[in-house]
Amino acid sequence: MSLLSLRGVGKRFATRHKDGGTLALSDLNFQIQEGEFVSLLGPSGCGKSTALRLIAGLIAPDSGEILWSGARPELAFVFQEATLMPWADALTNARLPLDLKKVPRASADSQAEAALARLGLKAFASAYPRELSGGMKMRVSIARALAAKPKLLLMDEPFAALDEITRAALNDDLLALAREDGITVIFVTHSVMESAYLSSRVLVMSPRPGRITADIPLSQGPHDRLSPDFAQAQAKVAAALMAAA
Amino acid sequence: MKRATDIALPLLLGIALLGLWEWIVAVRQIPPYVLPAPSAILHAFIDNFASLMASLLATLKVTVEAFLAALIAGVATAILFSQSRLAERTLYPYAVILQVTPVVAIAPLILIWVGFDRINAALVLIAALVAFFPILSNTTLGLKSADFNLMELMRLYGASRWQILWRLQLPTAMPYLLGACRIAGGLALIGAVVAEFVAGSGTATGLAWRIIEAGNRLEIATMFAALGLLALLGVAIFAALSALEYWLLRRWHESALSRPL
């Protein structure tokens, strides 16, 4: 069942020059099915983050429309940086969406604690962000997203700043968590490997103006990272990305 | 080890300078109405202890009240600015005018308006005017410095304006506000002294007034004693606000972390 569809979505950003601004997205069309894990893959500046922010409702499209089947579902967003409140411990950070919805403290605490535990941070609930490593901060950020009990999780290059080993571990954890909760994920990345590993579908985007140039269905991971099948999937995605540029 | 020398070195210098001072006054036979020896100042302090303490308390009271008034007014105005660009654009120039006009020049007017029968309120108002601006400008800057991604995230989760103010903007502004408090604490004391000077005879009872009065009577030793107390008060206010800053920021802010340089 289709969760949302973008129809002819365009977005222009104002610049200082009087040339009408930069066309970030033009005639963007795609559908997301419930339960999919879709990667938006493309080079920097192709408008993939803009597409994600449009879906989140943080910005409005200049043309076209974003259609939800039914009401807009509960959303969560994860940025490239962990974007935690430095003055609050991990538990308070994870509890943020619940606090904003005025969930009673005891219930919010136990939900946030459970979310932290799922990310392997049970022992770090009272740690402050500065006491955590980059990977652990990102785990808190994901715990915060899961605490909101989203139906759709939007992720904007969440692991781009992490080292390879941390990244691989977080990829596996994310896949397991999304599957457990039946969350639909839209995942922005510029890593071929990451998109091939995580996705049930990869949408390849080309820049200026951003549009979809390939729609590649894949078998979703976790994969054996050294297997020929996975190498083949990566090659397929890489070829589409090169063709788009 | 480092901590011990941090205290010992300035202390040794102070003792050496006081010794030199005492010695020069004795050897050159400088008259006490020009420069009293430290021992004479200590005598004056002990002789006038009760009244000097009463004056200290009076000045401290004006300073603390003025500081609190400036804190509340400064933070409230900064919050207003953060919620309404229109209010900021309209009012900010006047805040600047208030800041650049020397308070000594406004003080006589305020004394007349508020009235000598309500001298305490007038003193507090004058001192608060001096302390107000750094709190306003720093808090305004702090409220604007909130992490934009966090703000968008909160909006995505349906946060109201007040939730964003309370949970994001005010905590972000806290280090800025506390830095401003250290400056404003000292300024409130300066403002209190200026106000006492301007208020003059028969009204003020604080340390600044004691300095003028002692000067008129050529009791230079008492003047020095009052001056020393004012300096101590300034240091105490600064230390207290620094301690508050450290205590509030110690868990999370870069400025409060101890790292080897």
pLDDT along chain B (261 residues), means of 10: 80 95 93 91 94 93 96 96 92 89 88 87 93 94 94 93 95 95 95 89 79 90 94 94 91 74 54
pLDDT digits (tens, 9 = 90+) for A47-86: 888 899 999 998 899 888 999 988 888 899 999 999 999 9
CB under 8 Å to B103, separation ≥6 — which residues? B126, B129, B130, B191, B194
pLDDT digits (tens, 9 = 90+) for A167-208: 999 999 999 999 999 999 999 998 999 999 999 999 999 877
In-domain check, residue B72:
yes
Q: What is the pLDDT of residue B258?
A: 64
In-domain check, residue B26:
no
Tell me which of A149, A164, A190 is where a domain ends: A149
**Which CATH number is A211's domain given?**
3.40.50.300
Q: Which two tokens stand for residue A115?
A: 């979310």
Tokens 């538990």 correspond to A91
Which one of B176, B178, B252 makes the best mutation probe of the A interface by having the most chain A beta carbons within 10 Å?
B252
pTM above 0.95, yes or no: no
In-domain check, residue B99:
yes
Query: How far is A178 from B228, CA to CA, in rounded Å?
Result: 68
What phi and psi values does residue A204 have, to the nearest 5 degrees?
A: -90, 135
Query: How far is A225 from B63, CA to CA, in rounded Å?
Result: 69
Domain shared by A203 and A231, yes or no? yes
pLDDT > 90 fraction of chain A, expressed in percent and rounded: 54
Domain shared by A161 and A240, yes or no? yes
In-domain check, residue A80:
no
A181 in Cβ contact with A34 (< 8 Å):
no
Tokens 């610049």 correspond to A15
Query: How far is B152 from B148, CA to CA, in rounded Å?
Result: 6
ipTM (interface predicted TM):
0.89
In-domain check, residue A162:
yes
In-domain check, residue B31:
no
In-domain check, residue A233:
yes
CB under 8 Å to B146, separation ≥6 — which residues? B164, B168, B169, B172
Domain shared by A123 and A210, yes or no? no
A158 at the B interface (CB within 8 A)?
no
Give B251's contacts in chain A (Cβ within 8 Å).
Answer: 87, 128
Domain shared by A158 and A241, yes or no? yes
B156 at the A interface (CB within 8 A)?
yes
Domain shared by A128 and A157, yes or no? no
What secondary structure letter does DSSP report for A126?
T
A130 at the B interface (CB within 8 A)?
yes
pLDDT digits (tens, 9 = 90+) for A196-243: 999 999 999 987 778 888 888 888 878 888 888 888 888 888 988 888
Strand order of the β-sheet with A22-33 is A22-33, A2-13, A63-68
Mark yes or no for CB contact B150/A99 under 8 Å.
no
Query: Which one of B156, B174, B253 has the shortest CB-CB distance to A58?
Result: B156
- Count up the domains in chain B and report the number: 1
Residue B41 CA neighbour count, 13 Å, CB half: 17
Domain shared by A161 and A233, yes or no? yes
Query: How far is B182 from B173, CA to CA, in rounded Å?
Result: 15
Mark yes or no for CB contact B168/A56 under 8 Å.
no
Tell me which of A149, A173, A191 is where a domain ends: A149
Mark yes or no for CB contact A100/B154 under 8 Å.
yes
Residue A226 CA neighbour count, 13 Å, CB half: 0
A22 at the B interface (CB within 8 A)?
no
Q: Which two tokens stand for residue A15?
A: 């610049």
In-domain check, residue A68:
no
In-domain check, residue A5:
no
Residue whose C-alpha is closest to residue A107's, from A46, A69, A149, A164: A149
In-domain check, residue A2:
no
- Count up the domains in chain A and report the number: 2
Domain shared by A53 and A157, yes or no? yes
Tell me which of A114, A133, A149 is where a domain ends: A149
B256 in Cβ contact with B250 (< 8 Å):
yes
What phi and psi values does residue B13 have, to the nearest 5 degrees?
A: -60, -45
Fill in the amino acid letter for A237. Answer: V
Structural domain of B119: 52-251
Q: What is the pLDDT of residue A13?
A: 81
Query: Which one of A79, A86, A101 has the shortest CB-CB distance to B149?
Result: A79
A160 at the B interface (CB within 8 A)?
no
Give the closest-approach CA distance of A20 to chain B in angstroms: 25
Structural domain of A239: 33-61+151-245
Which one of B147, B150, B156, B163 makes the best mutation probe of the A interface by having the most chain A beta carbons within 10 Å?
B156
